[in-house]
Chains A and B, each alone.
Chain A
């Protein structure tokens, strides 16, 4: 068995979450691949660049974090207070006592994981059909999919609310999840990715008699791993932060996700104590950042294409 088998084997190695071993092996490949690109000057410039990036991007993040440890009266002061004095965990405990924080977390996890799984599966299979299968009207279908990205949700919510309410799905998870499950962005991203794969490999796999599903799982997906990871990350982030639709659909903490729940810390007709709000923001951000740290290690250079060539 030729190419497809080779690729297939690699696929088996790459798809599971990287255990330490495998990761190390691939990383060492990568060192090889990119180490000889740079002289010391590039390295210095690289580190300088990183410092600059951290300075510019991290400062507002740092403020969010600091504020979450400040006492109420220290948040708005002039000159600005660069270190909480004294640091307080008060905001975090207030966060968990003033609102049912963990209920919102649970709902967020349910909504985000269900919606993300649905979107990733639908996105991949739609993209596969749009890139590697041939059928009449393919370009039109593609355009129909991306045109969905042009419809702002401000205009869809009212009409969808009516539909979902009549199904009796208000304040239910399916009522929140199903209307969000259609995927335009991911279809577009993955289609683009699949189209960019080397035609000769796909062709070779086909000649080997790989059926469409085998082609997808064994050949196309493994070579698209970094993009799939990016797709997954962005989808998870978007669903995690989804606000307008879950807000309209949910009635209380039985279904409302975090972004909705956190707004109840704000005082809508008076002075808001931003400490707990920032604490909530930090806690809402953490799981996703952990996920990112984990997943970005997966985005290791796909060696497949080059390896197969040689």
Chain B
């Protein structure tokens, strides 16, 4: 009996303890406690290993630890894609044990920055006397909010124009990508004739799989945009023109959407597509025909993409300092070359292309050369896609509807209203705060 009641008591005490903890672990109200896991000389790096890059990351980490014997880096499997890393980071924001370095994508970084969960890096960078001018400008400025930078570019990609050289030859076309989308329209009938009835001239990812990302190229090509700063401009006549162009491509049977164009293209079923540079290695390896790559049509109309690395705001300053040391190392000229050659991402440093090993690499891989030459022609994406919560999905939905034949002007007008409403209710009050 004694035994029993003692255990009962202990049980109760345990339950009370748990309840007590539960109370302070409430989500969304308690300010995030800093600290958590990790001593100040262990840098916890949360990564999704973009492009199967875990071995390269480990290699770079080893080099970093050799150069900084007092520091250790713990590489954490933080998800299978950018969304999952964001989800895990969000969980840690609610409950402590923050990482020191986290991978944030072109769409996920902003909400963290806006809610003051990422450190602005500018001050840290200048204290550490790190020169940022060597970062490719468009890539570095992607992480700019209120004149502060919240991440450094890491695994950055752009779309490329991929085409099947055999089909191009059969259609009697020059071995190059189209100069602009009007030119492509003159090619399309020839390509269709050459492709036959069971093949597709062009396939793009659907609205659930980032059509909204590559379509920016067409929009910009016709002088439109999703937005100017924070003002949605879907109803702009030029944006509507681009939408109509997309719709007509589909209507005339030149364009199909798909969950993932890469296998269809690789199998030779699809004549051309706009896909990430990240797909380059896989496509080149699998395709049983010569793969051509070209700049996206137009000039200076290529959207950037991919991810950067940021540092959580609520960790102690000495941890931030170490974290910065690490991300600078991770993205320096030497390592960005190591990283990009293993994965197909873009070098994020201007000086990277001058390194001898990169020169040798590009000589052997002319398709990678295309991507790098396109890099200076990239343009930062429109705010309502990357910075507005759910922007990509919202626009993707509209584009799906257009391709399925709904009226372009109506759909775009709806997008204007929705985007504006989301901006007003979720962003406006937090800007400049």
Asked whether the complex places CB atoms of A and B closer than 8 A, the reply is yes
Using a CB–CB distance below 8 Å, which chain A residues touch chain B?
72-73, 75-78, 98, 157-159, 161-167, 170, 247-248, 250-253, 256, 260, 263-264, 266-273
Q: Digit string of B301-329 for contact with A (CB within 8 Å is 1, else 0)?
A: 00000100000000000000000000000
B-chain residues with CB within 8 Å of residue A75 when the two chains form the complex? 263
A162 to B31 CA separation, bound complex (whole angstroms): 12
B263 touches A76 (CB 8 A): yes
Q: Which A residues touch B74, using CB under 8 A?
A: 251
In B237-264, which residues have CB < 8 Å from any A CB?
A: 262-264
Are B25 and A270 within 8 A (Cβ)? Answer: no
B90 to chain A: closest CB distance in Å?
Answer: 7
Whole-angstrom CA separation of A298 from B373 in the bound complex: 66
What 7 pairs between A and B have smallest CB-CB spacing? A271-B282, A162-B95, A263-B80, A270-B278, A76-B263, A162-B25, A161-B91
Closest to B52 in A: A267
Contact (A170, B267) CB under 8 Å given A157-B91, A252-B75, A269-B157:
no
Tell which of B25, B27, B76, B84 has the most Cβ of chain A within 10 Å: B25
Q: Is B36 an interface residue (CB 8 A)?
A: yes
Given contacts A161-B92, A166-B96, 7 further A-B contacts (CB under 8 A): A76-B263, A158-B94, A162-B26, A162-B96, A253-B77, A270-B281, A271-B279
CB-CB under 8 A for A270 and B282, given A158-B90, A165-B96, A170-B37: yes
A166-B25, A166-B96, A270-B278 given; A73·B286 CB < 8 A: yes
Q: Contacts of A72 on B, CB cut-off 8 Å?
A: 285-286
Q: Are A270 and B51 in contact, with the CB atoms below 8 A?
A: yes
Given contacts A73-B286, A250-B77, A269-B278, contact A166 B95 (CB under 8 A): yes
Q: In the complex, A15 Cα to B51 Cα: how many Å?
A: 51
What is the CA–CA distance of A132 and B264 in the complex, to the nearest angstrom? 60
Partner of A159, one of B25, B263, B269: B25
Is B398's CB within 8 Å of the partner chain A? Answer: no
- B interface list, Cβ under 8 A from A: 18, 21-22, 24-27, 36-37, 48-52, 54, 74-77, 79-82, 84, 87-88, 90-92, 94-97, 155, 157, 262-264, 266-267, 269, 276, 278-283, 285-286, 288, 306, 343-344
Q: Is the CB of B21 within 8 A of A167?
A: yes
**Contact assessment for A161 and B94 in the assembled complex, using a CB-CB cutoff below 8 Å:** yes
Could you list 24 examples of A-B contacts with CB < 8 Å? A73-B285, A76-B263, A76-B267, A161-B91, A162-B27, A162-B96, A164-B95, A165-B96, A166-B24, A247-B79, A247-B84, A248-B88, A248-B91, A263-B80, A264-B77, A268-B50, A269-B50, A269-B306, A270-B52, A270-B278, A270-B280, A270-B282, A271-B282, A271-B283
> Which residues of A are found within 8 Å of B52, using beta-carbon distances?
98, 264, 267, 270
Say whether B77 contacts A252, CB under 8 Å: yes
Q: Let me know if B94 and A159 touch, CB within 8 A.
A: yes
Instruction: List residues of chain A with CB within 8 A of the CB of B279.
Output: 270-271
In the assembled complex, the CB of B4 is this many whole angstroms from the nearest CB of chain A, namely 16
Choose one: A73, A260, A268; the contact of B82 (CB below 8 Å).
A268
Assess whether B281 is in contact with A165, with CB atoms less than 8 Å apart.
no
Across the interface, do B97 and A165 meet the contact criterion of CB distance under 8 Å?
A: yes
Smallest Cβ distance from A43 to chain B, in angstroms? 44
Query: How far apart are the CA atoms of A72 and B287 in the complex, in Å?
Result: 10
- Chain B nearest CB from A252 CB (Å) reads 5
- Bound complex: CA A264 to CA B267 (Å): 24
Give the Cβ gap from A103 to chain B, nearest Cβ, in Å: 12
- Measured CB to CB, the nearest residue on chain B to A272 is B282
Q: Which residues of A contact B91 (CB under 8 A)?
A: 157-158, 161-162, 248
